[in-house]
Amino acid sequence: MSERRPAVLALVVWTLLVWTTRIGNIWGDDGLDAADKVGRTALALSFTVLAAAVAAGMWRRAPWTRAAVRALAGWTTAVWVVRAVGIATGDHSAAFVVVHLVLTAVSIGLAALAALAVRGVAGRPSGFPMASSRR
């Protein structure tokens, strides 16, 4: 399991960094009304909750950890693809677009690495998080 942890931990840390800081940005934006703030906060919290679930599952070596990693990786990929298209085609400065496309690439790259880290090989379980054999 130790060789699988870095990719998953990187996704968890990155997700918490990106999305929990987003919450502060949302509530500090005077250009958003209350409904926009609540909706955007809900999205950010969905990532925060999934990342916390993965971290808790890893800590406890829970049998559902692989499913949580896959959920976080899939949600990350889906949301960032949609956001990237919207940002790239929206009325934003070039710098804003570049920064967000970099965030997109890093997020999707980490999601892919984490998903690969927990997949089974040739029909065998991956051994992650090895809930059945505590060592």
Summary mean pLDDT of the chain: 89
Residue-range domain boundaries for the chain: 5-118
Alpha-carbon distance of 39 to 35, in angstroms, equals: 6
CA 37 to chain centre: 20
Q: How confident is the model at residue 46 (pLDDT cuts 50, 70, 90)?
A: very high
40, 26 contact by CB (below 8 A): yes
For position 4, what pLDDT does the model report?
63
Amino acid of residue 83? R
Tens-place pLDDT, residues 51-94? 999 999 999 999 999 999 999 999 999 999 999 999 999 999 99
Amino acid of residue 19? W
- CATH level 2 (architecture), domain 5-118: Up-down Bundle (1.20)
Q: How confident is the model at residue 122 (pLDDT cuts 50, 70, 90)?
A: very low
Q: Which two tokens stand for residue 110?
A: 């980490």
Q: How far is CA 68 from CA 27, 51, 91, 116, in A?
A: 28, 8, 35, 13
Q: Give, as one character, the DSSP assignment of residue 82.
A: H
pLDDT at 130 over 90: no
Element (H, E) at 103: helix 94-118
Length of the chain: 135
